[in-house]
Each structure stands twice: as C-alpha cells, then as structure tokens.
C-alpha cells in the first residue's frame, strides 16, 4: 500500500504536529500550504525532530491549476486536510472570505482528488458544528448545524455535508470527519507550537503573549457563568494527542463517512487554565475579569467513547503537560529571536 500522504495546512499548528507523527510512523509526507498563517521555518523544525524535511508546495487551495499539477506529480494514497481560516471573530466581519477560502478551497481539493483517483480524506472539523445542545457533553450522534454562532462554524458544518454528499455520489470515497475540541500545548521538543500571524483570539495564544509581555493582561471573558468558579469550561486537548488521533484514524479508514470527537472528556475552566499555567511557569499571569464574549457557551466537552472503542485512541497527556510544553516552546522562540539580534 502506498504510504504517500498530502497534508494541506501542514505548516500550521495542528498540521505540523501531525506531520511529525506521520513521518515518525514511516509515511511519505508532502505539505501544501499558502503560509497565510504559518511560517516556512516550520519545515526545518520538522526536520530537526524527525530527521526528514517533507516536500513542500507553497500553494493555495483556491488555485485549481496548481492543485492539478501537484496531484499530477504524485499519486497520493490519502489527504489530511487542515488548511483553512479559523478566526471566529474575523469570520463574522468577512464571511465571504471564509466561505471562499474554506468551502471553495475544499471543493477544489475534492475535485482534484476525484480527478486523480485519490479517495481517502481526513478533515479537520470542529466541536463548533454541534452549536447549542441540551447537554454540554457532545456525542457524535447529536444533530449538527443548528444555531451555529458564526460563519467559521458554518464553513465546518457545510464542508462536513459536502463530504457526506461526495461519499453518497461515490461509495468508494473514504471520509473521516474529526471534530476537534480545544487544542492546546506544543511539541515536547519546544520546536513546534502555536504561533499565529497577527492578533490571536484563542485563549492559549493570548496566555502565551501575556506571559512574554507582548500583551499586558488576559481578559477573562466573564466569571458569572453557571459553572463552579463562574468561568467557562472547555475540553482542552494536547496537540500531540490530537495529532495521534489522526494516525489512529488513518488505520481505520473505510468506504463511507466516519465521524469522531477528538477530546479528553474532561473540561477545565478558564481560571483552571490560568492556575495551571502559573503553576508551570512559577509566575503570576496578569489577568482581569471582563464582560462575557458574545457567542460563548458556558461549557461543553467531548464524549470521546466512540474514538476509544472504534479507533483504540484516547488522550494520554494532561493540561499540566500542555503548559510545560507551551513554556518550552516559548523559551525556544525567545532564544531564537535573541540569537537573530
Ligand atoms: P493554522 O492556522 O495554524 O493552520 C492552518 C493552515 O492552513 C495555515 O498554515 C494556513 O497558512 C493554511 N491555509 C489557510 N488557507 C489556505 C489555503 N487556501 N490554501 C493553502 N493553505 C491554507 O490552524 P490550526 O489550528 O492548525 O487548525 C488546523 C485546522 O483545524 C483548521 O481547519 C481549523 O479550522 C481546524 N480546527 C482548529 C481548531 C483550533 O482551535 N486550533 C479547533 C477545531 C478545528
Ligand atoms: C476558550 C475559553 C473564552 C480568550 C474556539 C472556536 C471553536 C474552536 C476552538 C476551531 C472561552 C475564554 C478566550 C480570552 C478568555 N476552533 N477566553 N479570554 O471559544 O472555546 O472555541 O476555538 O474550530 O470553533 O469557537 O476557544 O480559545 O477562543 O476560548 O477568557 O482572551 O477561553 O471565553 O471560555 P472557544 P477560545
């Protein structure tokens, strides 16, 4: 069986960690990314960890001709599709860019796959597709697409539906929709981590910037939620555990659509995340209580049982591991920037 895999968005946060796992498991990995939200230096970091630098295409999924050329060059066995825009707030301001990039890009990708006989795809979906549910513990059988808070979330929902339709039209297609909860942490080497271009909006990248002084204080969005300490609770999953979930999925792809939650099953509050970071760093993290953020739900987490039973995958790392690895990544970045001065 061919072990050639195309990873779209492979220089990004989750993609780069998954590429490391793939190379370590003996897959031949090629990356396609337009570097909109990642840096070319990630390729050297991957090489430092694995001893192999993956072939890289600086390309945009919206560019059909280039996609066709890439699929002509190599006969891939499968595609792992991370590439997309993911800033929730920005998606409200620029919905058409999100629809064009995420949905348009994915349609082009599926078309290129079909044209070149590549029929296996793992897609980065999100817990966001569940919208508002009666229970905060999300199970794969719940209805999706209702009361989604933003265009970003709708792109994930629509792409899931497009991939389901693709399978209906061609029963040989093998599709996995992986619904990630809240990925955090970094590679234990400190060489890879989350380093978004521009202003971050997820909790951990902001915590990181407060810790190194690039942002003065963390705004905690509300402490009057109906949770034990009043702050929102989420299912934070270490990015290396998440990357390993893709490996398990690759071994279990079969014709049709498979849907899995990738989460820990254990929520933590914003205050607990702050405490864990302070414990790992040994320093107070400046923060203050701000108003609630529009669209935030009080709490939700994954029911990860299906992945455990069917894929034999479950998380192994804790939020303390994630904080330790995040600090290692921050320290490495600091040393790098000092050595460049
Ligand atoms: P990321 O921004 O670090 O990685 C995405 C990569 O895709 C970036 O390197 C970017 O340059 C690239 N890209 C974007 N549009 C492209 C295009 N048109 N053509 C080629 N490359 C393009 O994000 P991430 O956190 O690694 O997320 C990866 C995937 O997982 C995304 O699809 C995201 O929506 C999804 N996801 C992320 C989270 C999260 O909280 N990080 C949660 C659930 C789902
Ligand atoms: C986590 C918690 C905030 C920033 C989003 C997307 C979701 C998925 C993951 C991709 C919340 C609180 C945050 C800050 C804070 N992404 N917070 N101060 O909102 O759970 O999910 O990212 O699919 O689709 O919606 O993640 O990291 O933004 O927030 O207090 O400055 O941290 O209120 O409770 P969220 P997040």
CA–CA–CA angle 265, 271, 274 (5° rounding): 100
Please check whether residue 250 is in contact with residue 25, taking contact to mean a CB–CB distance below 8 angstroms.
Answer: no
Active site residue 152: yes
List Cα–Cα distances, 2 to 29, 82, 243, 318, in angstroms.
11, 21, 21, 34
Best residue for ligand 1 mutational test, from 61, 83, 157, 326 (most atoms within 8 Å of Cβ): 83
> Pick from 236, 237, 240, 262: which is nearest to 189 by CA?
240
pLDDT in tens, the chain (341 residues): 569 999 999 999 999 999 999 999 999 999 999 999 999 999 999 999 999 999 999 999 999 999 999 999 999 999 999 999 999 999 999 999 999 999 999 999 999 999 999 999 999 999 999 999 999 999 999 999 988 889 999 999 999 999 999 999 999 999 999 999 999 999 999 999 998 778 898 999 999 999 999 999 999 999 999 999 999 999 999 999 999 999 999 999 999 999 999 999 999 999 999 999 999 999 999 999 999 999 899 999 999 999 999 999 999 999 999 999 999 999 999 998 888 77
- Which pairing describes strands 78-81 and 55-58: parallel, antiparallel, or unpaired? unpaired
Which entry of 13, 27, 76, 152 is annotated as an active-site residue? 152
> Pick from 266, 12, 15, 268: which is nearest to 123 by CA?
15
CB of 202 shorter than 6 A to ligand 1: yes
CA–CA–CA angle 255, 258, 260 (5° rounding): 160
Q: Look at the block and give the residue holding tokens 């590549």.
A: 118
Best residue for ligand 2 mutational test, from 199, 203, 229, 287 (most atoms within 8 Å of Cβ): 203
Q: pLDDT tens, 218-259?
A: 999 999 999 999 999 999 999 999 999 999 999 999 999 999
Q: Atom 18 in ligand 2: which residue has the minimum CA distance?
A: 220
CB of 15 shorter than 6 A to ligand 1: yes
């Amino acid at each position: 069986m061919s072990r050639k895999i195309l990873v779209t968005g492979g220089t990004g946060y989750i993609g780069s960690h998954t590429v490391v796992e793939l190379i370590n498991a003996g897959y031949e990995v090629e990356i396609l990314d337009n570097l909109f939200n990642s840096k070319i230096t990630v390729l050297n970091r991957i090489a430092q960890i694995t001893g192999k630098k993956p072939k890289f295409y600086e390309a945009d999924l919206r560019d059909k001709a280039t996609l066709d050329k890439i699929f002509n060059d190599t006969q891939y066995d499968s595609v792992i599709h991370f590439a997309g825009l993911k800033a929730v707030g920005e998606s409200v301001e620029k919905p058409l860019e999100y629809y064009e990039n995420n949905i348009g890009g994915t349609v082009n990708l599926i078309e290129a796959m079909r044209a070149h006989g590549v029929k296996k795809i793992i897609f980065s979906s999100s817990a966001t597709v569940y919208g508002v549910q009666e229970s905060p513990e999300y199970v794969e059988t719940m209805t999706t697409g209702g009361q989604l808070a933003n265009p970003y979330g709708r792109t994930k929902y629509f792409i899931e539906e497009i991939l389901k339709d693709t399978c209906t039209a061609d029963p040989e297609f093998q599709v996995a929709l992986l619904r990630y909860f809240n990925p955090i942490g970094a590679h234990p080497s400190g060489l890879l981590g989350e380093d978004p271009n521009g202003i971050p909006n997820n909790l951990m990248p902001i915590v990181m910037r407060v810790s190194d002084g690039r942002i003065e204080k963390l705004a905690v969005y509300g402490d009057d939620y109906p949770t034990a300490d009043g702050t929102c609770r989420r299912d934070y999953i270490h990015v290396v555990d998440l990357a390993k979930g893709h490996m398990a999925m690759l071994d279990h792809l079969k014709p049709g659509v498979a849907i899995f939650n990738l989460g820990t099953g254990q929520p933590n509050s914003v205050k607990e995340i702050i405490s864990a970071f302070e414990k790992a760093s040994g320093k107070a993290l400046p923060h203050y209580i701000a108003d609630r953020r529009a669209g935030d739900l009080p709490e939700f987490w994954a029911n990860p049982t299906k992945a455990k039973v069917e894929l034999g995958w479950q998380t192994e790392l804790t939020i303390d591991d994630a904080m330790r690895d995040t600090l290692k990544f921050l320290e490495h970045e600091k040393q790098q920037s000092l050595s460049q001065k």
